[in-house]
């Protein structure tokens, strides 16, 4: 073995990068060849010691010596860990040789003449066990969505397709960072068996690179995948939902231009954020996404994303549902000018303007929501007045908690004033300011009365405070429907909220660790692609009257495995069988509902012990 030095130059910056690799010469049918054994990074070691290091590494990787023989070279801890890991892999393959995958089953059967053998039962062992159940779910969704077709159109090779599957399936099956996806691929997944290119031992840099290439084709992939979903499920495209959320970073992210501090929807405002605007249809299938800086104002995103989708130029435009944060007067006027129908709650709470209507509920119709709670509805002058009993109970409890705390603080202040320990306009005003700071919405909850010389302070609850609990106003335009239909259109906004929840929790998109801007964008886009697969699976189960979420599904099928069984025959030859375990009845039921069949065949190999 020897150490090779290679240099690459960044074409943009001119910076030269140096990498060292441990290389060995091997004999092949085509003559001697050189094979990379281990990437060493950039060695900070005198060239005169390279030969000695190569010899010691060869002894350590293939022999029985322990790592102390490498101490003299003062290698970094990360490299020591990688050498140790590589030695474990090599020792495993030497002691438990894996099959040569280009050897066919027919060749094995020809050697024995039969699959019936005398077996030394004491030698039977399982040498490898990898996940299969979740890979079958992913493979089925991958095939449903014709991922291979669109990736081929985008210029992806077969190997790049397998790598793309690795990062997307990894986000779906083993949510986390790109590094965790790489580790899952190498040590726990049967993914490589589903593709012609074996990528089970690929270098982690290939994972980052394929994510970048997927991002480069973002618009084309999003358009193709939504059209494919629409074709599969005959989607109407009459109602789209729009919302914006943010994800938080771990670290300072000083070099990431998207990382900005703003108001976090997850109460993580102390951390840098990145924002994601998303349009989905009424079934939750992503139509278009756009990534923004973490401090972007919600209202400004609407025009940009509608123009990018081309929806503004469509002759027959879908209706849009959106939340209060985006519904500025300017955006509402934009929707009217562009001819969009819409349903939304305006940013300003106008419930108090209809206090008499909500108090009497005259002319309201009653419906029942998905939780069995009553909702009162009334159409009035282009508005839909809504009063939810469940929402009333929740908001009334919040109101009582707020007013009780505020009154306690005011009573304490009044008591101190009456005792004479707090007096004077300046000090009393400062104390009132502190009470207001501790109690948001002070002026909406109470009226405060103070006499001219600030010797007496009293308060009273505002008459209409708490009277609009559970009440809200939905604005709508160009939607020809009754009150219940308009209300149900608006409540479909929970669909896009569910999409955000799935991306954050089920797909492990948060927190974001990437320091580079483009890697951050790729990280979020991979979650969009994985969500296409997740929603495809969940929607097909809904059609079969199953409301199971993928997070639960993932746990159920996790015990379906792909294993390698090894044994010795009567002539001490070592055999291996690559096979799938028998799925449990609950797993079989899921496969049956989704129409999944295992494409992986059992394979029997005559194993030969060879030096790696």
Q: Render 416-471 in DSSP notation, one character per residue.
A: HHHHTSS-SHHHHHHHHHHHHHHSTTHHHHEEEEE-TTS--EEEEE-TTTTTTTTE
d(CA 436, CA 405) in angstroms, rounded, equals: 11
Count CB neighbours of 304 within 10 A.
13
Contact (CB, 8 A) for 320 and 341: yes
pLDDT at site 607: 77
d(CA 5, CA 41) in angstroms, rounded, equals: 10
d(CA 100, CA 102) in angstroms, rounded, equals: 6
Residues 6+ apart with CB under 8 A from 171: 181, 507, 508, 509, 526, 527, 529, 530
pLDDT at site 71: 65
Residues 6+ apart with CB under 8 A from 291: 258, 274, 275, 276, 277, 520, 521, 524, 525
Count CB neighbours of 587 within 10 A.
20
pTM of the model: 0.73
Maximum distance among all alpha carbons in the chain?
110
Residues 6+ apart with CB under 8 A from 467: 352, 355, 358, 359
pLDDT at site 145: 96
Residues 6+ apart with CB under 8 A from 306: 312, 338, 340
Could you list the beta-strand ranges (E) of 155-285: 239-248, 273-281
pLDDT at site 44: 84
d(CA 440, CA 12) in angstroms, rounded, equals: 53
Contact (CB, 8 A) for 195 and 169: no
d(CA 44, CA 42) in angstroms, rounded, equals: 7
- Given the structure tokens 């103070």, which residue do they identify? 450
- Given the structure tokens 């012990």, which residue do they identify? 609
pLDDT at site 106: 36
Angle of helix 204-216 versus helix 158-173 axis, rounded to 10:
100
d(CA 98, CA 307) in angstroms, rounded, equals: 54
- For residue 241, give the nearest of 477, 491, 482, 487 by alpha carbon: 491
- For residue 446, give the nearest of 416, 405, 418 by alpha carbon: 405
- For residue 37, give the nearest of 26, 28, 24, 20 by alpha carbon: 24
Please list the rounded mean pLDDT of every run of 10 residues in the chain (612 residues): 87 85 78 82 85 82 59 76 75 53 37 68 91 96 96 94 96 88 91 91 89 94 95 92 88 86 81 91 92 86 85 80 84 89 82 88 91 91 90 91 93 91 90 92 90 87 85 90 91 87 85 85 93 95 92 94 92 90 94 94 75 36
Contact (CB, 8 A) for 222 and 150: no
User: What backbone torsions phi and psi does residue 603 show, to the nearest 5 degrees?
Assistant: -135, 135
pLDDT at site 95: 57
pLDDT at site 304: 86
DSSP state of 294: T
């Amino acid at each position: 073995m020897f150490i090779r030095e290679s240099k690459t130059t960044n074409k943009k910056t001119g910076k030269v990068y140096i990498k060292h690799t441990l290389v060995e010469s091997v004999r092949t049918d085509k003559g001697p060849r050189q094979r990379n054994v281990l990437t060493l990074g950039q060695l900070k070691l005198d060239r005169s010691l390279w030969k000695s290091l190569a010899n010691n590494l060869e002894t350590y990787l293939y022999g029985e010596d322990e790592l102390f023989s490498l101490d003299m070279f003062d290698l970094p801890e990360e490299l020591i860990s990688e050498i140790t890991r590589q030695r474990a892999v090599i020792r495993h393959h030497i002691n438990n040789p894996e099959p040569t995958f280009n050897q066919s089953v027919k060749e094995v059967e020809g050697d024995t003449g039969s699959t019936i053998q005398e077996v030394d039962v004491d030698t039977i062992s399982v040498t490898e066990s990898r996940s299969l159940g979740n890979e079958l779910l992913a493979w089925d969704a991958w095939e449903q969505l014709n991922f291979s077709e669109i990736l081929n159109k985008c210029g992806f090779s077969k190997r790049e397709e397998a790598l793309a599957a690795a990062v997307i399936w990894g986000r779906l099956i083993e949510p986390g960072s790109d590094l965790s996806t790489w580790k899952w691929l190498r040590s726990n997944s049967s993914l490589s068996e589903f593709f012609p290119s074996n990528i089970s031992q690929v270098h982690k840099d290939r994972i980052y690179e394929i994510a970048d290439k997927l991002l480069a084709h973002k618009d084309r992939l999003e358009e193709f995948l939504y059209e494919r979903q629409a074709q599969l499920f005959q989607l109407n495209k009459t109602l789209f939902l729009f919302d914006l959320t943010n994800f938080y970073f771990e670290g300072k992210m000083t070099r990431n231009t998207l990382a900005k501090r703003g108001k976090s929807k997850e109460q993580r405002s102390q951390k840098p954020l990145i924002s994601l605007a998303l349009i989905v249809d009424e079934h939750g299938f992503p139509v278009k996404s756009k990534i923004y800086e973490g401090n972007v104002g919600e209202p400004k995103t609407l025009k940009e994303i509608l123009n990018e989708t081309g929806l503004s130029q469509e002759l027959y435009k879908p209706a849009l549902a959106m939340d209060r944060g985006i519904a500025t007067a300017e955006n509402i006027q934009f929707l009217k000018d562009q001819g969009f129908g819409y349903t939304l709650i305006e940013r300003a709470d106008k419930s108090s303007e209809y206090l008499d209507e909500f108090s009497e509920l005259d002319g309201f119709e009653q419906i029942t929501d998905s939780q069995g709670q009553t909702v009162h509805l009334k159409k009035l002058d282009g508005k839909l007045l809504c009063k939810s009993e469940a929402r009333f109970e929740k908001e009334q409890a919040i109101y009582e908690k707020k007013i009780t705390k505020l009154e306690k603080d005011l009573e304490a202040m009044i008591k101190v004033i009456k005792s004479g320990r707090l007096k004077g306009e300046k000090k009393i005003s400062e104390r009132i300011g502190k009470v207001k700071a501790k109690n948001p919405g002070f002026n909406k909850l109470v009226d405060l009365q103070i006499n001219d010389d600030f010797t007496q302070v009293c308060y009273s609850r505002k008459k209409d405070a708490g009277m609009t609990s559970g009440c809200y106003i939905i604005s709508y335009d160009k939607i020809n429907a009754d009150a219940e239909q308009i209300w149900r259109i608006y409540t479909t906004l929970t669909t896009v909220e569910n999409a955000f929840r799935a991306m954050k929790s089920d797909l492990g998109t948060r927190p974001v660790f990437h320091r580079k801007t483009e890697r951050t964008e790729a990280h979020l886009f991979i979650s969009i692609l994985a969500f296409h697969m997740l929603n495809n699976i969940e929607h097909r189960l809904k059609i079969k009257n199953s409301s199971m979420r993928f997070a639960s599904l993932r746990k159920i099928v996790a015990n379906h495995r792909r294993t390698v069984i090894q044994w010795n025959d009567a002539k001490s030859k070592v055999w291996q069988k690559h096979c799938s375990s028998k799925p449990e009845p609950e797993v079989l039921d899921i496969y049956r509902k989704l129409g999944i069949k295992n494409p992986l065949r059992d394979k029997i190999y005559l194993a030969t012990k060879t030096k790696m």
